[in-house]
Amino acid sequence: MKRYDSYKDSGVKWLGEIPSHWEMRKAKFLWKESFAVSETGKEELLSVSQYDGVLPAKADTRSESLKGYKKVSENDLVINIMLAWLGGLGVSKYEGLVSPAYCTYKLIHDSDPRFLHYLYKTPLYLAEFARHSTGVVPSRWRMYTDDFGQVLTLLPPIKEQKALSNYLDATTSKIDAAIAQQQKMIDLLNERKQIIINNAVTKGLDPNVKMKPSGIDWIGDIPEHWKMIALKHLGTTNKTLVNAQNHPQAYWYEYSMPAYDEGKCPKSVLGSDIDSTKISLTQPTLLINKLNVHKRRIWFVDRPMEKSVASTEFVPIVVTQANPYFIELILKSDKITTYLMNNSNGATNSQKRVTPDVIIGIKIPIPSDDEQNEIIDYANSIITPLNMAIDNCINKITYLQERKQIIINDVVTGKVKVV
């Protein structure tokens, strides 16, 4: 990539050198806060994504009136003041409404809103937004209008801004298309995994086995010698609770996870400032999350670390009457997931929560111990290479996302000349 013919010292340490013909202006001279609100609440609801900026909300249930929500016009800047430093902002391509807790701004300077959108989403500017945010801890940081107004904004000539935006639009759209292709492959591989799991855990491995009705419509027929047993009869519920403050360096089994990874239970180290009730894990435990069942957040913790704890969002089962790995496998099948989702409460998938009674009351088909082991071995022999293929796709996506960010950062900060 070429560089500009000459550079100058910006006079600001965090910006360093910039192209000689570029300017800098404080954000307050570019944007004016808008306080316009909806009088009807009938406009489209928008959301602010840390990754994609302003988009139509995925779920607009209208469970409450949107009257009084802030109005957003095309090319308005919307900032989630709590998440600005994490990228919770963007220039809107849409008209609609956002939460009254957000700040909205209208452009009052002859600048290209697309360029400013790219600029404000760079790590360089997110770090600056963090410096202009106030609060005791990051989770309580806020960037208010006066603070945002003091942020120095890089400004090439308007004609150059538009040319740079056009270049980035074309370049990033190609990268986004490649990312979408990899994501499609992940979806297909996960679909293949589900077909294998569903067939193995409900039909067994012998295609010639005699079948019988399970007695449950959504499960259908099962091998004649299998039994239908409620989860609560396969073990006991772990009800041992501890105060996390007494476990300052405990291993905490979380319930957040990447959407693509259905098989790993991540763990982190709790800080001593955490003061909440957790489930104490002193023996192998099956963890079933009550929230977002469709994401299959179910893990068997076979060897808990010393002082291990888990969120109370889990239903913890100590399985004693079956192979826990088999129970984990069947609970991740589409049939079980669909049943639990249909018996969950919540307005949207991301808000749906299933009660412990529904979870432990669910009846599942149980083969003999030997068959359970055979099914686990069979599933792992096929799922393991599928997971490797998924990981490969994930690595490609990560590379593409990093490459996209580097290109944007270099272009909008003048590190390279592309037009």
Write down the pLDDT at residue 264.
Answer: 47
> Is the separation of the CB atoms in 111 and 401 below 8 Å?
no
Write down the pLDDT at residue 24.
Answer: 97
Which residue matches tokens 């150059």?
Answer: 160
Write down the pLDDT at residue 15.
Answer: 94
Write down the pLDDT at residue 270.
Answer: 44
Give the start-to-end residue ranges of the domains of the chain: 23-155, 227-366
What does each C-alpha distance from 224 to 172, 210, 213, 365, 366 come to in angstroms? 56, 6, 8, 11, 11
pTM of the predicted protein model: 0.78
d(CA 380, CA 368): 18
> What are the tens digits of pLDDT across the range 191-243?
998 888 888 999 999 999 999 999 998 899 999 999 999 999 999 998 888 77
CATH number listed for the domain at residues 23-155: 3.90.220.20
> What are the tens digits of pLDDT across the range 407-417?
999 999 999 99
What does the DSSP assignment read for 2-32? B--S-EEE-S-TTT-EEETT-EEEEGGGTEE
List of the chain residues with pLDDT < 50:
255-266, 269-274
Write down the pLDDT at residue 313.
Answer: 83
Q: Tell which residue, 128, 302, 331, has the closest CA to residue 219.
A: 331
Q: Do domains 23-155 and 227-366 have the same CATH topology?
A: yes
> Who contacts 189 (Cβ-Cβ below 8 Å, separation ≥6)?
386, 389, 390, 393
What CATH number does domain 227-366 carry, 3.40.50.720, 3.40.50.970, 3.90.220.20, 3.10.20.30?
A: 3.90.220.20
